[in-house]
A = this chain, B = another copy of it.
Amino acid sequence: MVARHESFTIQTEARPEFHDVTGRVQEIVARSGAKEGIAVVFSQHTTCSVIIQEDSIDTTYNGTKFLMQDLLDVFERLIPQCRKEGQYLHPGPKCAEHCVNDVHEPLPFTLNTDAHLRSSIIGRSESIPIVNGELQLGEFGRIYFADFDGTRARERIVRVQVVGE
């Protein structure tokens, strides 16, 4: 049996970003030696998600693939970017106190309610079948790590757990 975990990090900027991590995940699957099973690609960050989508080739001026910008545009109507406190219930007064006293972070870092909600809707992970040692992504599928939090640049952790044989 194979049950092997690896993680890697991604450096994100202070805007929503989508990183193609397909190659990194394929390398981890190859190293695991699993011929048959699943790979769970997982973000433990509560403002991030994992998405399987087509590479839509064209990009915006800041490098966002068109399909991902279309997704952000849909979300902007549904869950507008959090621009100031009071726009959403979160962050509330106790959360702000906790941020200042315990986490020791500037209050504007908590203005990422939109990112929390968007990431809940997309979900935390994707589970992908491995057949004959290959991830089954189809002709066009790519694995994107999505960071919806635009409040600051940050280092993010992507986890890959392979289970199979």
Contact = CB atoms under 8 A, between A and B. Distances in A.
B91 A40 contact: no
B70 A90 contact: yes
Interface in A147-165: 157, 159, 161, 163-165
Contacts of A157: 138
Interface string A111-130: 00100110011111111111
A21 interface: no
Contact of A92 (B3, B57, B121, B141): B57
A127 B40 contact: yes
A90 B74 contact: no
B38 A163 contact: yes
A133 B34 CA distance: 21
A20 interface: no
A9 interface: no
A129 B50 CA distance: 14
Interface of A: 1, 3-5, 34, 36-38, 40, 42, 44-46, 51-54, 56-58, 60, 66-67, 69-71, 73-74, 77-79, 88-95, 98, 113, 116-117, 120-131, 136-138, 140-141, 157, 159, 161, 163-165
